[in-house]
Amino acid sequence: CKGWKRNYKADVCCFRFSLVVMYALIAVILHWDGDNHVPYLTLDKDLTVDVRHLDGSVEHSDSNYYSSPVAGETVVVHVPLDAAKKMDHAALCFGCYNAAVRVYFENQVLLKEGVGAVKPTGHLICNVPLPQEAWGKSVRIELYQLEDHAASRISHVLVLPAIRSYAYPLLGQRFGFLVFGSMFSISVLLFFYSTFMRIFRIHTEQGMFFSFFCLSTSVWYLGFQGMLYLMIENRTVCAYAEYAALYIMPIPFFGYMRREPVGEKARRLFHTAEKIYIAFFLFSAATEIFTPRDGFITLLTIDHILLLCGCSLVLFNIIRSWKKQYDMSSRILYSGIALSVSFVFLEIFRVILNRYNVSGYHHLWMRLFVNFNFAMLFLLTFTNVLILSYIFRTAEAIRDRAEENQLKRLAYLDILTGIPNRLDCEKHLSQMEEEKRRGYTLLFFDVDHLKKANDTYGHQTGDVLIKATAEALKRVCEGKEGFYGRFGGDEFLACFYQQREADQVCDAFMKEINRYNEQ
């Protein structure tokens, strides 16, 4: 038990160290590659905001931290453009969520997006070409809060060359794009790999659920960060892909978990949770498609509650069965899930604060908290945990299958001679009987005077004679259509499906024996 505890602590430390090294290595590579090839200005700290409430009052803020608007309210963001930092042929780029957007320079409308939208627009990426005369003045962004939609808030306000504005989603987020873009590609390949492994019946169901989870996770994150626009230009498709992935994500996760070596009670609970998430996704999709309401947005709070319940269920099961996990894959999985679940709680709490403006963000720590990306931290940790766990699980399955095949091979192998034994011969004879095979030749023979050799020269000499006979039989029978083996004691058996081969083998075998006797 003490040895197991020492190994467990060493495994956990090694696992944590591996995660840190992996993240650091990717960060170093990205820093070396950098974003220096795209010059840009960051304006997030220069913004001033006015929130026009329904009662006619106006809330002013000298930063991008303001109370969340409700349906019908307007958020006016003033973006100053410093003439000293003038950039020719530039574009103002920013992101916002589920809002109708208008961008003005003085009385000129530069952009109009999402006006009259009743379905999700998701993470809008707005590219606004800036007139040269706007430098030294300011641009006005108006966000109109839509009914039944999440609170509107702009983010990541940058100015960069218009010709390079396509790279906006990557600026400052190359790490996330590299990780989750790679995950998207790998998950597709992993699905085909799992399907291929099905032929050998090695860990296929978990592999398919795992690849599906990685696929939905990567799609959601890429949509959440606006990176889907790099691959798909259609805003509606990006929005639906993002929200559908968010609702689908728990389904393959619980499908994966219930195929883990957990107790029967936990397996039933995970299966029930899987069915609940499937039903909830279908209901949300039906509401989205067949009603005028935005089902995905309207039911988002319920989805968060279900996510909390699911995380609590997993955490409870981890605590309950913590001491029962002895294999490496389970240790990695349960340790990583426990850490990841804590990030989920923090992310949902952050979303609630951000949506309902519980605190008003008057404190610096609260501003940092509501803008911290716990979702990415959770996804990075959790997906890497699943990857490591699945690698160990697959390796264990392959090892177990190899051991099983080795045991089967040994079960049909004669230990002394290294040729097939009686059990193997009887297996082939039974197959011949089932197939009703005809026209075969069956040979039985034994070693003459073996008992006399044992009594006179010892059993080691008798073993030498048996092994020599087996070696001669092996040399002449290999490559022939049939089977052979040691049937027991000094008795051997050979079967040939072709009469001509039987005659050839008999002649060759007697020549081998005569040559051995002469030696």
**All structural domains of the chain with their residue ranges:** 41-170, 178-407, 422-518
Q: Is residue 494 a contact partner of residue 424, using CB atoms and an 8 Å limit? A: no
Say if residue 270 is exposed, middle or buried (CB neighbours under 10 Å; 0-12, 13-18, 19+): buried
CATH of domain 41-170: 2.60.120
Q: What does the pLDDT look like over 403-447, one tens digit per residue?
A: 777 777 777 888 888 888 888 888 888 888 888 888 888 888 888
Nearest to 155 by CA among 72, 241, 55, 47: 47
pLDDT digits (tens, 9 = 90+) for 200-218: 665 567 778 878 888 888 8
pTM over 0.75: no
Domain 422-518 has CATH 3.40.640.10: no
CB atoms closer than 10 angstroms to residue 296 = 23
C-beta separation of 359 from 366 below 8 A: yes
Query: Between these two residues, 160 and 339, which has the higher pLDDT value?
Result: 160
Q: What is the pLDDT of residues 453-509, one digit of tens each?
A: 788 888 888 888 888 888 888 888 887 888 888 888 888 888 888 877 788 888 888
- 296 to 218, 242, 278, 390, 426: CA distances (angstroms): 19, 10, 14, 31, 64
Q: What is the pLDDT of residues 235-282, one digit of tens each?
A: 778 888 888 898 998 999 888 888 776 778 888 888 999 999 999 999
- Average per-residue pLDDT in the chain? 77
288 burial (CB, 10 Å; 0-12 / 13-18 / 19+) is buried
In one letter, which amino acid is 68? S
Q: What is the mean pLDDT of residues 385-400?
A: 72
Largest CA distance in the chain: 117
Cα 12 from Cα 42, distance rounded (Å): 40
User: Residue range 82-100: average pLDDT?
Assistant: 86
